[in-house]
Structure 1
């Protein structure tokens, strides 16, 4: 009989949710900054509406990317115990996302699938979102004493 540790899946889904929310807010910020540079400013109501729109629409595009990204890192952490340090997990989350974005941008018909990754600052911001999700996942596991 196979023993299933459901908390691993639950923690991974929480990390994906954290990563997706942070990435959607980051994407909104970069889009709004580009609009503000063209128009001279954006009203507070438009900012809130844009963030909400990205949370409800862009998240559907980004969540599968975050899931695959964090799943790859979670499997690596499970089988390679030396990587179970917070900073290594965060770096690994960013590196795997970077490699995924290179692959996605090669396959996607448009210049880049995620507008925020068109600049260096935006790319680093998205990588930090992935690192935050991986830190959350690792913290939850260490809190449970799974990786103690």
Structure 2
């Protein structure tokens, strides 16, 4: 059975759309997490931060920090998803955990790599501690799992 060029193109289009949607999910999650960690650090110092200010700051960070963070996530995911794709050939039934772990571990590696070259101690203050780093990696992990869900193949009933 041959696959037409149109079918292959639609398949890749679906994969790319799923990748972009998952990237957006991880980016929004990470941006919101870093904002809330930063605001909580200020609140711990006694700064009163009303809900309206939290919401506005979150939206401003999505617009300002979001694109830079999307670049970090993308840089993390490209090699991580390549490794996951190769491992799925060996363990096809482990597709979801392989992509999810690749996304989560890849993000941690990318954040630590960026921190190693950043002029300040850490680029993203929320990742200074393990709690913030894991909270951001959780969003990446969930987005990696979502990517596998959105790109799953539908098996024939025959």
Indicate the TM-score class for this superposition, using the shorter chain for normalisation: 0.7 to 0.9
Instruction: For 2:19 and 2:80, locate their aligned partners in 1 and report how far apart those are by CA, in whole Å.
Output: 10
Q: State TM-score, norm by structure 2.
A: 0.82
Tell whether 2:108 aligns with 1:101.
no
Q: State TM-score, norm by structure 1.
A: 0.88
Instruction: For 1:58 and 1:17, locate their aligned partners in 2 and report how far apart those are by CA, in whole Å.
Output: 13
Tell whether 2:59 aligns with 1:56.
no
Instruction: For 2:76 and 2:110, locate their aligned partners in 1 and report how far apart those are by CA, in whole Å.
Output: 7
TM-superposition CA deviations, 1:22-43 (whole Å, max 9, x none):
0011011101101111125311
Tell whether 2:28 aligns with 1:21.
yes
- Higher mean Cα deviation, 28-37 or 40-49? 40-49
Tell whether 2:154 aligns with 1:141.
no
Match of 2:131 among 121, 130, 147: 121
Instruction: For 2:39 and 2:110, locate their aligned partners in 1 and report how far apart those are by CA, in whole Å.
Output: 25
CA RMSD across the alignment? 1.9
Larger radius of gyration: 2
Instruction: For 1:77 and 1:121, locate their aligned partners in 2 and report how far apart those are by CA, in whole Å.
Output: 25
Query: 3-state DSSP class of the match of 2:154?
Result: coil
Q: Give unpaired runs (5+ residues) of structure 1.
A: none
Query: 3-state DSSP class of the match of 2:151?
Result: helix
Deviation at 1:68, TM superposition (A): 2.0
Partner in structure 2 of residue 34 of structure 1 = 41
